[in-house]
Structure 1
Amino acid sequence: MPKRFLQNYLEYTLFLSLIFVVKALPRTLALRIGAGLGLLSKVLLPKRRKRALENMRMAYPLMPEEELRNNVSEMFRHLGISGVEMLLLDTFKTKEDLEKYFSFHGLEHLREAYKLNKGVFLLSGHLGSWEVGTFFLPMLGCPADFVAKQMKNPYVGRYFNRLREAGGGRVLDAKHGARRIVKSLAENRAVAILLDQHTTPSVAVKVNFFGRPAYTTPIITQIAMKNGVPIVPCFTHRTKDNHYEIVFEPMILLAPDSDREAVVRNTALLTSIIEDAVRRDLTQWFWVHRRWRE
C-alpha cells in the first residue's frame, strides 16, 4: 500500500474526528476554541509567524513594533476562527440563519450586474470569512460558482468541496479552470475568484500590492474585457460577535481591449480594490501567504 495513501487516510481519519468534536459543540464555544488554536499555531509555526511579521512590516513600515506584533497575533486568532467556521459551513441552512448572522450592504450592485445577463465576476480575496459566500449567495437567489485549488489530500479536499456546495453553489477547479469559468458565466452565474494569491510568473502579470510587485493572475481582466462581464467586488468581514457584514461594491465594466498594457492596468485596478478592503481591517487578511516572490 503506497505511503502517500496511508498518510492521506490517516489525515482524513483525524480530520473527521476533529469535525465530530467541532459540530458537537455550541457554535460560540467552537469558534472560541478555534481562536485559541489559532493563537497556539502562532507558537507552533514559527516560520509562518516570521513571514506574517515580515509581510506586515513591509506593508506598514511606520507601524510601531508592538502594534505590529499585536496585529499578527490577532490575525492568527482570526485564522483559527476561520478554520472552524469552514467546518461549520453546512450548519447554515435556512433563511432564519441568513437573517440572524448576515447583514448586507450594496446588494443592489450585484442585482444590477446579473441583469446584464453576461454572468458576474465576484472579486474577492483571502479576507475576513471568505468561505461563507458559498452559503449566502445561493440563499439570496444568486447562482454562483467558486474557484478553488485542490488540496493535496484528496479525501479532505472532497469533504471541503461538499461543504462548499452544501448551500447550492458549485466548486470549479482552479487548475485549467478558464473553460469552466466561461461556461458558468454563459449560464449567467456569478464566479467568485480570490485574486490575492501568488501566481506562476509564466501565466501572471506583475502589479503592485501594498507597494510591492506581486505576480497576479490576469484571468478576471482578460475574460471581462473580452466578453463584457461585469465585476462586482465583494468582501465579508467578521464582526466581534461572530456575525458577518458583506459589502458589495459598484460593478466595474472594463473597456474591450486585448492590449497587454490594458490587461496589466486593469489587473492593477482590481488588486488595488482588494488592498483597500484589507486596509479596512488588516488583521483579517492572510498575511502568512508568500504573496511577494521574486
Structure 2
Amino acid sequence: MARRIRHLLEFAVFRTIVAMVHAMPMWAIDIGSTFAAFCVHRLLPRRITRHAVAAENIRQALGHEVDVDRMIGRMWRHLFQTIGEVMHLRRRLTRNNFRRLIRFRNQQQAVSALLSDRPVILISGHVGNWELAVWIFGVFGFSMGVVARRLDNPFLDRFFLDFRSDTGHDLLDKNGASNEMIERLESNRHLAMLGDQDAGTHGLFVNFFGHPASTFKSIALLALRHRALICVGYAIRLDGEDGPERFEIGCEELIDTELIDDDPVRTVTQAYTSALERIVRRAPEQYFWLHRRWKTKPRPGQRRSRRARTGSLPWAA
C-alpha cells in the first residue's frame, strides 16, 4: 500500500509538470531548462549528480582539451530540454506541421529500407532526442516494436506506453522480449532499440571513441539471422544554427547484413557502434555522459573466446 501511494504521488507531481509544460511556448521551455540545469549542475552535490562519472567519460572520449565542466552543464540543459520537448511535441507535432521543426538527412535510405521486403532494426543511442527519433516514424505510418525497459512506477510506465503507442508503436519489455522480437522480424516487421548500453561480461568488445566497450551481440545476431537491415538513426537539436528548424532527423548509416561475410557479428556490431560515435561527435553536449559505457573491461584473450562461441547462441542457429 505504501508503495502504491508513493507511486501515485510521483505520478501526480509528474502530471502537474506535464500540464505546466503543455501550457508553455517552446521558448519558455528553453529558459526553464537552462534554469533547471544551473540548479542541478551548480547547486546540488556532485556525488548526487554523478559529475565524476560524466567527467571521466568525456575525457576518455573527447580528450583533456575539452572544457569538461561546461560540457556537463550543457548536457544537463539538453536533458531538461528533451523532457520538455517530449511532453510538448506529443500534442503539437503532426504530419501537417513537422517541416516547421524538422529537417531530414539521408531520409531516402531509411524510407527505402522500410518499404523493402526485409525487416529493419532502427538503432539509436542516448544522444539527442531519441524518443523523437522513433516517434516520427510512427507519425508517417511505420510501426516499430520499441524495445525498452519498463518503468518501476506503473502509472508512469502507462504514460510512456501510451506516448509510444499513440503513433502505432508496440512497446516490448527489454527483459524477456526475445520471442516477440523474433516474431516481428520473421513477419518482416520492424524493431527500434538503443544500442549504446554496457553489456557486461557477456558482451562483445568493440571500439567506441577508441576504447573497448562491451556491446550486446543480440542486435547483430538477430539482424544476420533474419536478413534485417540496420538503420542507425538519430534526432539532434540544431542549437544556434540558421533556419527555422529545431531538429535534424537522419539515417547515419544503413547496414546491409547480407553483404558482410568476414566475422559478421563483430563487423556489424562495430559498424553501428562507429555510426553512433559519429553522431555523438557532431553534438557531444547532447549525449548522456552519465551512463557508464565503458564500465566492463575486457579480460585477456576475451575477443578470441567470444568469437569462437558466437555461433552457439540460439538465434544464430
Structure 1 counterpart of 2:254, one-letter code: M
Distance 2:136 2:172 in 1: 18
1:293 maps to which residue? 295
SS state at 1:136 partner: helix
2:249 maps to which residue? 246
Structure 2 counterpart of 1:215, one-letter code: S
Structure 2 counterpart of 1:35, one-letter code: T
Structure 1: segments with no counterpart, 5+ residues: none
1:272 maps to which residue? 274
Distance 1:105 1:185 in 2: 26
Preserved contact between residue 198 and residue 214 of structure 2 (Cα < 8 Å): yes
Are residues 88 and 40 of structure 1, via their aligned partners in 2, closer, same or farther at CA, if it must alter by over 3 Å? same
Aligned positions of 1:61-72 closer than 5 A: 61-64=63-66, 67-72=67-72
Distance 1:121 1:220 in 2: 8
Distance 1:257 1:104 in 2: 28
Are residues 134 and 275 of structure 1, via their aligned partners in 2, closer, same or farther at CA, if it must alter by over 3 Å? closer
TM-score where L is the length of structure 1 = 0.90
Distance 2:150 2:269 in 1: 24
Matched, 1:221 2:220: yes
- The one-character-per-residue Cα deviations of 1:188-242 (angstroms, maximum 9, x if unpaired) are 333111101122433x222222222222111210011111101111111111267
Identity of aligned residues (%): 28
Preserved contact between residue 229 and residue 253 of structure 1 (Cα < 8 Å): yes
Q: CA deviation at 1:279?
A: 0.7
Matched, 1:29 2:28: yes
2:189 maps to which residue? 189
Q: CA deviation at 1:32?
A: 2.5
Are residues 225 and 126 of structure 1, via their aligned partners in 2, closer, same or farther at CA, if it must alter by over 3 Å? same
Structure 2 counterpart of 1:251, one-letter code: L
Are residues 134 and 165 of structure 1, via their aligned partners in 2, closer, same or farther at CA, if it must alter by over 3 Å? farther
Distance 1:257 1:84 in 2: 41
TM-score where L is the length of structure 2 = 0.84
- The one-character-per-residue Cα deviations of 1:38-64 (angstroms, maximum 9, x if unpaired) are 332223251322211111011122424
| Segment of structure 1 superposing worse, 80-89 or 90-99 | 90-99
Distance 2:59 2:28 in 1: 33
Matched, 1:174 2:174: yes
Structure 1 counterpart of 2:74, one-letter code: E
| Segment of structure 1 superposing worse, 207-216 or 68-77 | 207-216
2:101 maps to which residue? 101
Structure 1 counterpart of 2:252, one-letter code: E
SS state at 1:96 partner: coil
- The one-character-per-residue Cα deviations of 1:27-84 (angstroms, maximum 9, x if unpaired) are 32123312321332223251322211111011122424xx222122111111110111
Aligned length: 289
- The one-character-per-residue Cα deviations of 1:217-271 (angstroms, maximum 9, x if unpaired) are 1121001111110111111111126711111134211248899x53233212221
Are residues 145 and 35 of structure 1, via their aligned partners in 2, closer, same or farther at CA, if it must alter by over 3 Å? farther
Structure 1 counterpart of 2:270, one-letter code: A
Distance 2:45 2:267 in 1: 37
Structure 2 counterpart of 1:14, one-letter code: V
Are residues 107 and 24 of structure 1, via their aligned partners in 2, closer, same or farther at CA, if it must alter by over 3 Å? same
1:130 maps to which residue? 130
Distance 1:149 1:212 in 2: 26
Distance 2:174 2:165 in 1: 16
Preserved contact between residue 145 and residue 171 of structure 1 (Cα < 8 Å): yes
Are residues 256 and 227 of structure 1, via their aligned partners in 2, closer, same or farther at CA, if it must alter by over 3 Å? farther
Q: CA deviation at 1:131?
A: 0.7
SS state at 2:288 partner: coil
1:143 maps to which residue? 143
Q: CA deviation at 1:94?
A: 2.3
| Segment of structure 1 superposing worse, 281-290 or 145-154 | 145-154
Preserved contact between residue 54 and residue 289 of structure 2 (Cα < 8 Å): yes
2:198 maps to which residue? 198
Distance 1:247 1:74 in 2: 22
SS state at 1:249 partner: strand
1:90 maps to which residue? 90
SS state at 2:256 partner: coil
Structure 2 counterpart of 1:144, one-letter code: M
Structure 2: segments with no counterpart, 5+ residues: 297-317
